[in-house]
Amino acid sequence: MIKAILLIAILALAMLLGPVLTNNPGYIKLVLAGYVIEMTALGFAIVLIAALLVLYLLVKVVRHLLRIQHFSLNFFNSRRERKANRAFASGLHAYARRQWPQAASQLQQSLTGGDFRHEKRFLAAYAAFYAGEYEQAKSLVAELAEDDPSRQYLEAEMLLHQGHASQAVLILEALLQQPPVDAALGQLYLRALQQAGQWQQLLVAAGRAATGHWFDKMSWRQQRFALYPQAIRHLSSETGFDQQQDYWQALPAKERKSAAAALGLAWAEANAGQADAAEKRLVAALSLADVAPAWPHLRQIPLGHSVLRLRKQIQHWLRDNPSNGYLYAVLAYLAEQEGEQQQAQQAWQKARQYQPELR
């Protein structure tokens, strides 16, 4: 709409001034080094505009051929930008090598010129944070807008790093009430709840993470194992875990039936003296793909002698996957539960043969 109005105004001005300039073209005479140039004022204006257009196109072509990104007639400004760009490059290299003090210094120097001011400031703040310079990081991030997700994320992460998990939880809760929800802040919120030991609230937030897609599909599959077993285990130890509680029932059915949730529930049942029910739950819930992420939690479940069904399942998987070290590790764990130390030792040797990182 604005462009149309502007075009109409230009046309109207041309209609008004056109006849005036045609009838009164004006006169310009230039005398230079013995040469005399005479032309109308209108002709001079046309020549001047054409010359400027040619000069502009020439500069564009030269910049493209020489790959010059920035051009300035101000020598001092150009020199400052070159120094800032060099500092930015050095800062990025130091950041990649995790040389945090050097990265913070170089990235802060790069703020004196050039583009990407927001990104430079954010990276400089993070480098200072990793270097332990919290005050410097705060002063850098304070220049960003208060509603900038990058600033909010870094401020909350600094609180977590300094051991103020509960304070970080309060800040992140308020931020997550404002749509749209930033997925990175949501992920940090889950970490803060874990560090603060707020397990009921963590399960509620896990439901939001699942329905709000705070993680991609593959990442969320792994993230479940970092949330549900730990939360259920702590709740069982503190007050006893009840599946009828609102914080559990509010979870989507898919989450309550997941293998990660089954690990936590099996731990609670085994510690309540229901080892047989715990084993049945594990056999029903676990798949071959779940064995590796489930292993750190599975080995903590006291099944005792209730291992027959689970052992058969593991042996069945081993027939088709003879080089899976995690399956041998589970066999070693099951043998230890029954007190068969020699079988456990043999299974552990196989497990470490195929998965040397297993301990």
Q: How does DSSP assign 153-211, residue by residue?
A: HHHHHHHHHTT-HHHHHHHHHHHHTSSSPPHHHHHHHHHHHHHHT-HHHHHHHHHHHHH
Residue 328 has pLDDT above 80, yes or no: yes
Q: Would you say residue 326 has pLDDT above 80?
A: yes
How confident is the model over 39-52, as a mean pLDDT? 79
pLDDT for the residue numbered 117: 86
For the cut 80, the answer to whether the pLDDT of residue 76 exceeds it is no
- The 10 Å Cβ neighbour count of residue 206 is 26
The whole-number pLDDT of residue 21 equals: 64
For the stretch 40-67, what's the b/e string if a residue is b when 16 or more beta carbons lie within 10 angstroms of its beta carbon?
eeeebeeeeeeeeeeeeeeeeeeeeeee
Question: Band of the pLDDT at 112, cuts 50, 70, 90?
Answer: confident
Euclidean distance between CA atoms 269 and 200, whole angstroms:
19
In a domain, 358, yes or no: no
Q: What share of the chain is helix, strand, coil (3-state, %, to 5)?
A: 75, 5, 25
Instruction: Look at residues 116, 129, 131, 115 and name the one whose alpha carbon lies nearest to residue 72.
Output: 115
Average pLDDT of span 98-117: 89
Q: What is the pLDDT of residues 194-224, one digit of tens each?
A: 999 999 999 999 999 999 999 999 999 999 9
Q: What is the pLDDT of residue 147?
A: 81
In the chain, what percentage of residues exceed pLDDT 70?
93
Out of 33-42, 132-141, 273-282, 316-325, least confident range: 33-42
Using the predicted structure, report yes or no on whether residue 70 has a pLDDT greater than 70. no
pLDDT band at 57 (very low <50, low <70, confident <90, very high): confident
Q: Show the tokens assigned to 329.
A: 């590790």
Mean pLDDT of 104-133: 88
* For the chain, percent of residues with pLDDT exceeding 90: 51
Distances from the Cα of 62 to the Cαs of 66, 68, 128, 263, 278, in angstroms? Answer: 6, 8, 40, 66, 75
Q: Considering its fold, how many domains does the chain have in total? A: 2
- Residue 118 tokens read as 């927001």
Residue after which a domain boundary falls, among 261, 278, 295: 278
Query: Which string of b and e fits 146-176 if b means at least 16 CB within 10 Å?
Result: eeeebbbbbbbbbbbeeebbeebbebbeebb
Q: What is the pLDDT of residue 72?
A: 54
Tell me which DSSP letter residue 114 carries: S
Please report the pLDDT score of residue 73 as a whole number: 52
For residue 287, being part of any structural domain is answered with no
- Distance from C-alpha of 206 to C-alpha of 228, rounded to nearest angstrom: 9
Reported confidence tier of residue 64, pLDDT bands at 50, 70, 90? confident
Residues 6+ apart with CB under 8 A from 142: none
CB 275 within 8 A of CB 304: yes
| Structure confidence at residue 75 as a pLDDT band (50, 70, 90) | very low
The answer to whether residue 184 is domain-embedded is no
| Domain membership flag for residue 348 | no
Q: Which of the two residues, 234 and 28, has the higher pLDDT score?
A: 234
Predicted confidence (pLDDT) at residue 229 exceeds the cutoff of 90: yes
- Which of the pair, 176 or 64, is modelled with greater confidence? 176
State which residues form the domain around 46. Answer: 2-66
Q: Which of 42-56, 117-131, 250-264 has the lowest mean pLDDT?
A: 42-56
- Residue 240 confidence class, pLDDT cut points 50, 70, 90: confident
Check: CB of residue 324 under 8 Å from CB of residue 354: yes
Q: Say if 62 falls within a structural domain.
A: yes
Rg for the chain (alpha carbons), in Å? 34
Give domain status of residue 270, yes or no: yes
| Predicted pLDDT of residue 248 | 93
Q: pLDDT value at position 280?
A: 95
Residue 274, in any domain of the structure: yes
Q: Write down which residue in 251, 278, 305 finishes a domain.
A: 278
- pLDDT, the chain, mean: 87
Q: Point out the domain boundary residue: 66, 84, 117.
A: 66
- In-domain check, residue 142: no
Q: What is the dihedral of CA 223, 225, 230, 236, to 10 degrees?
A: 130
Specify the pLDDT at position 49: 86
pLDDT at 119: 87
